[in-house]
Structure 1
Amino acid sequence: MVRAIPASNLFLEYLQEKFNLQRTYNDQFFTEWSTNLPELSNLEKQTLDRVKSNYLHLTESRPMIESLVQMVVLSPLLDLAGFYQPPFKVEAEVPVQISIEDEDEVVQGRIDVLMLRNQLWLLAIESKRGGLSLEPAMPQALAYMLANPATEKPAFGFITNGSNFIFLKLSKQGTPQYAYSYEFTLRRGNEDFYNVLSILKRLGQLILQ
């Protein structure tokens, strides 16, 4: 009897034990989030300021549910990053399943937004989940990235609850390894939010290479 494990219930310890996933502390492993970032235009910055204003206004009365996070914050970011234009394609609510060798267990879940080319995986979570911390969503995102059928190139992940943002990188060559950026927030200042878009645009450039 195969036991299905929801990806949303995972802990990093499980991924380490079952998939030999290891966090790397090599500073050179994940430089894509901090180097060679493209400059933003004044129009892009003004649009991000508007997105930030919208988000802060809507959260004055209640936490942002997942669908509003996608609508108010994630969708404008993807548009500005060019991911709605060719050659990119977007899929949503994509089912994912990872089988564990020699064991009757599978990890199952649905990716909120999946950028194709098997290299960029995006996850939006409710702002009330885990408070302002995105760490509870990391195992879920990494599990989805482990399901990536391509192994010759690294996969990138992006987690947001609307106000906070983390980027991840996973390599499946040899022992699976991952690293993540520091946590950005639109509540700290405009530059943090601008950097989020710059990083998304940079990852888009790398995917097309």
Structure 2
Amino acid sequence: MPITLETSTLSLNDVHRLLKPQKTSKASSFTEHLTLEPLTELEQQDLLRIKNDFRRYFAAGKVSEGLIKFLAIAPLMRLSGFYDVPVRLTMEDAFAISIEDEDTKITGRMDILALSNTQAKTANTFWILVLETKNSSVDVFEGLPQLLTYAFKSLEKQSSVWGLATNGHRYQFVRLEQGNPPIYKLMPLLNLIQSDDSIQLVQVLKAICQLENSVS
């Protein structure tokens, strides 16, 4: 009898068993794949406002997933260029993955997906960034099983994709690449509250957004 699994029920072990991605043991850095540019003074001022808004709510207690998207994710993505043409954002997109050699299907809904429509020469839309959000009381790594599953779907059409799991104050970027087996790399963990980390967070988001100009 066919089995349907929801991404929200999967553990990291489940993802490894079903989709067979392999975590690289090599230490990874953002500059391996991205060119990080300094922030302008205006960008740093906008970032400070985002940090202060989030810090105020975070200090008062648990921040929900919905509020995190409103307070931090949306303004960070706007600051980083994700609201500009030709990037297109979608939310709560349904998807399904059929597992080869097993009568199993994985279904779920992605929190936020950034797409590029510049690849008009091909029949495929290029996935720039897959984003999974958890509330502030949840460890950011608990979002990895869902994030890896969503990102894995894009490898049917492209060679690599970036993912981001966050609980509002901590941000875990992941790069997933085609291969046999597929490989994923965990980038250094960033904290919105810390000054240097927050600047690098925006630099990384801006650099990923600029990937819409070329297939990675």
Amino acid at match of 1:63: K
CA distance in structure 2 between the aligned counterparts of 1:9 and 1:45, rounded to whole angstroms:
39
Percentage of pairs with the same residue: 28
Scaled by the length of structure 2, what TM-score is found? 0.87
The 1-side partners of 2:191 and 2:174 are apart by 16
By how many angstroms is 1:88 displaced? Answer: 0.3
| 1:172 partner letter | Q
Match of 2:68 in 1: 69
Q: Quick one: structure 1 residues 12 and 178, their matched pair in 2 at CA, closer, same or farther if it must change by over 3 Å?
A: same
Q: Which residue of 2 aligns with 1:173?
A: 179
2:50 alignment partner in structure 1:
51
2:45 matches 1:40: no
CA displacement, residues 26-50 of structure 1 (integer Å, 9 cap, x when unaligned): 346x644785301101111111111
Q: What do you get for the CA RMSD once the two structures are aligned?
A: 1.8
Alignment equivalent of 1:198, drawn from 195, 203, 207: 203
1:90 aligns with 2:89: yes
- Give the corresponding residue for 1:19: 19
Query: In structure 2, what residue type is equivalent to 1:182?
Result: P
The answer on whether the counterparts of 1:122 and 1:158 sit within 8 Å (CA) in structure 2 is yes
TM-score when normalising by structure 1: 0.90
Is the counterpart of residue 142 in structure 1 residue 151 in structure 2?
A: no
Tell which deviates more after alignment, 175-184 or 142-151.
142-151
Identify which of 135, 144, 147 aligns with 1:126: 135
**Partner secondary structure for residue 59 of structure 1:** helix
Unaligned runs of 5+ in 2: 116-125
- Contact in 2 for aligned 1:151/1:173 (Cα 8 Å): no
Which residue type is aligned with residue 70 of structure 1? K
The 1:84–1:33 alpha-carbon spacing in structure 2 relative to 1, beyond 3 Å, is farther
For the Cα contact (< 8 Å) 2:132–2:166, is it kept in 1?
A: yes
Q: Does residue 109 of structure 2 align to residue 110 of structure 1?
A: yes
Task: Count residues with an aligned counterpart.
Answer: 204
Q: Deviation of residue 151 (structure 1)?
A: 4.3
Aligned partners of 2:32, 2:64: CA distance in 1, in Å?
A: 27
